[in-house]
């Protein structure tokens, strides 16, 4: 039985896969079972920040696997403390804890916010305001936090305590604040919601409101973080410093890892027994994360911004393109007269992998992609958009 037949037989159908079997990759290129080459503008949905099989990452991961692949959080080990130091010192947070995914990190952030409020204000101050069109993960509580009605089906009862406000409408958000509010949770760019950036004035107003009322500000940087938008975290471009930041995806460059960064205000909220994770802070994942973080210097991030500007400039001139959204190498493309999925399918045929976000094209290439590789991919996309009906 072949790979696709095995998949159909033994793996539950939770994804509608494209008809491609990928077997190996290097840099920004990946290959299928027939050795057809694809230029990847997906990076495993924003995960492979350094591309495929980065030499330093492979060496660090392999070395750690041969030394100490896993140790429970009942003991100390070096890799997780190294990642925590790199993130906290660079971003100005007091401490952090680890998770295994973005959804799990967001669940942890929600727990911190509710416990902080319970500790300081008592019972009943537990509501978290999120935004309409947001996406925070697929666990039951993360789905409850997600501000998209079509996710709130089939899995009742959903976790209570979430209120959804309209993005970029500060009056609507203020109207949702009550004596029950403990936190506001934002994505700087609504990724799964269509790659829609928040307006700086709205973000500033939310941050000010949170400061005035001791409401915690949580920023979900699962997709926007780790250099994706041209700074280590996208919130840096908005002039704010959140109380809590969640991170995942690109941090592991292919291995499962997530984290929750905590400001001084909330740094002592959790005590032993309040939270835990068997695999969080796994030494192999953290060894790889150290390589990723050390690569994200000023020159690297400036290059991401330059490459993002090139992508925006090229895309905006292509047929059927109405608008290009996003920051850095996180881009959404509004189309007219063609469907995003048809464009993705046509580009696959021509050796370029793309994503969708609702009815838009979405580009999340490895951050290490070169301008020459981007030109190659843009040429393919332009040819497809010129030819497609």
pLDDT digit string, tens, across residues 273-292 = 999 999 999 999 999 999 99
Give the confidence band of 389 by pLDDT, cuts at 50, 70, 90: low
Contact 301, 151 (CB under 8 A): no
Give the confidence band of 1 by pLDDT, cuts at 50, 70, 90: confident
C-alpha 376, offset from chain centre? 26
181 is an annotated ligand-binding site residue? no
d(CA 194, CA 319): 20
260 is an annotated ligand-binding site residue? no
Tell me, yes or no, whether 235 lies in a domain. Answer: yes
278 is an annotated ligand-binding site residue? yes
Tell me, yes or no, whether 135 lies in a domain. Answer: yes
Give the confidence band of 92 by pLDDT, cuts at 50, 70, 90: very high
d(CA 223, CA 39): 20
The closest of 326, 236, 306, 383 to 46, measured between CA atoms, is 326
Output 315-320 pairs: Cβ under 8 A, ≥24 positions apart: 315/378, 315/381, 318/381, 318/382, 318/385, 318/386, 319/382, 319/385, 319/386, 320/385, 320/388
With H, G, I as helix, E, B as strand and everything else as coil, classify residue 237: helix
373 is an annotated ligand-binding site residue? no
d(CA 197, CA 188): 6
Tell me, yes or no, whether 300 lies in a domain. Answer: no
d(CA 257, CA 96): 13
The residue-averaged pLDDT of 77-92 equals 98
Looking at the structure of the chain, the number of domains it has is 1
Render the burial of 9-35: b for 16+ CB within 10 Å, e for the rest. Answer: eeeeeeeeeeeeebeebebbbbbbeee
Tell me, yes or no, whether 111 lies in a domain. Answer: yes
Neighbours of 271 (CB within 10 A): 8
C-alpha 233, offset from chain centre? 10
The residue-averaged pLDDT of 109-137 equals 97
Neighbours of 261 (CB within 10 A): 28
SS3 content of the chain, % helix, strand, coil (to 5): 40, 20, 40
Tell me, yes or no, whether 379 lies in a domain. Answer: no
29 is an annotated ligand-binding site residue? no
Q: Residue 151: which domain range? A: 59-293
Tell me, yes or no, whether 348 lies in a domain. Answer: no
The beta strands (E) that lie in the chain are given as 22-26, 29-32, 37-40, 95-99, 127-131, 162-165, 181-186, 189-190, 196-197, 216-220, 244-247, 258-262, 321-327, 330-335, 352-353, 355-357, 360-363
- Sign, CA dihedral 163-238-208-250, equals positive
CA atoms within 13 A on the CB side of 80: 25
With H, G, I as helix, E, B as strand and everything else as coil, classify residue 3: helix
d(CA 87, CA 81): 10
Tell me, yes or no, whether 15 lies in a domain. Answer: no
The residue-averaged pLDDT of 96-118 equals 98
Structure-block tokens of residue 234: 């996208």
362 is an annotated ligand-binding site residue? no
Tell me, yes or no, whether 16 lies in a domain. Answer: no
Any bridge partners for residue 181, and if so which? 127
What pLDDT shows up at residue 316? 97
103 is an annotated ligand-binding site residue? yes
Helix (H), strand (E) counts: the chain: 12, 17
Output 305-313 pairs: Cβ under 8 A, ≥24 positions apart: 305/230, 306/371, 307/369, 307/371, 307/374, 308/229, 308/230, 310/371, 310/374, 310/375, 311/363, 311/374, 311/378
The residue-averaged pLDDT of 112-138 equals 97
d(CA 46, CA 355): 10
The closest of 354, 357, 329, 375 to 41, measured between CA atoms, is 354
What pLDDT shows up at residue 353? 98
291 is an annotated ligand-binding site residue? no
C-alpha 276, offset from chain centre? 22
pLDDT tens digits along 23-42: 999 999 999 999 999 999 99
- Could you tell me the CATH number of the domain that includes residue 193? 3.40.640.10
The residue-averaged pLDDT of 309-332 equals 97
How much of the chain, in percent, has pLDDT values that exceed 90? 98
Mean pLDDT in the chain? 97
């Amino acid at each position: 039985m072949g790979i696709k037949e095995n998949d159909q037989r033994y793996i539950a159908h939770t994804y509608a896969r494209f008809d491609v079997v990928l077997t190996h990759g290097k840099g920004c290129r990946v290959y299928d079972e027939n050795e057809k080459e694809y230029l990847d503008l997906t990076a495993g949905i924003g995960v492979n920040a350094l591309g495929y099989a980065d030499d330093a990452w492979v060496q660090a991961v392999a070395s750690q696997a041969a030394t100490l692949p896993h140790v429970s959080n009942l003991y100390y080990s070096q890799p997780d403390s190294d990642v925590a130091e790199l993130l906290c010192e660079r971003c100005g947070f007091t401490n952090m804890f680890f998770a295994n995914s973005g959804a799990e990190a967001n669940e942890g952030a929600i727990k911190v916010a509710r416990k902080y409020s319970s500790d300081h204000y008592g019972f009943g101050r537990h509501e978290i305001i999120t935004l309409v069109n947001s996406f925070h993960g697929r666990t039951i509580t993360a789905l409850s936090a997600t501000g998209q009605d079509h996710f709130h089906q089939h899995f009742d009862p959903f976790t209570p305590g979430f209120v959804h406000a309209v993005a970029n409408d500060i009056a609507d958000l203020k109207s949702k604040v009550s004596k029950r509010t403990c936190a506001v949770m934002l994505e700087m760019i609504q990724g799964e919601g269509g790659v829609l950036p928040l307006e700086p004035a709205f973000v500033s107003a939310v941050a000010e409101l949170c400061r005035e009322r001791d409401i915690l500000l949580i920023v979900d940087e699962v997709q926007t973080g780790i250099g994706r938008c041209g700074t280590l975290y996208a919130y840096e471009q908005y002039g704010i410093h959140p109380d809590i930041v969640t991170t995942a995806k690109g941090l592991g460059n292919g291995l499962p890892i997530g984290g929750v960064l905590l400001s001084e205000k909330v740094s002592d909220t959790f005590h032993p027994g309040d939270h835990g994770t068997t695999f969080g802070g796994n030494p192999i994942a953290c060894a790889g994360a150290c390589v990723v973080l050390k690569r994200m210097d000023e020159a690297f991030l400036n290059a991401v911004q330059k490459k993002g500007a090139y992508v925006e400039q090229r895309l905006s001139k292509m047929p059927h393109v109405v608008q290009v959204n996003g920051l850095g190498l996180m881009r959404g493309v509004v189309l007219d007269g063609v469907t995003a999925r048809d464009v993705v399918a046509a580009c696959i045929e021509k050796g370029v992998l793309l994503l969708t976000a609702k009815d838009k094209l979405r580009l999340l290439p490895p951050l290490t992609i070169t301008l020459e590789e981007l030109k190659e991919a843009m040429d393919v996309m332009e040819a497809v958009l010129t030819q497609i009906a």
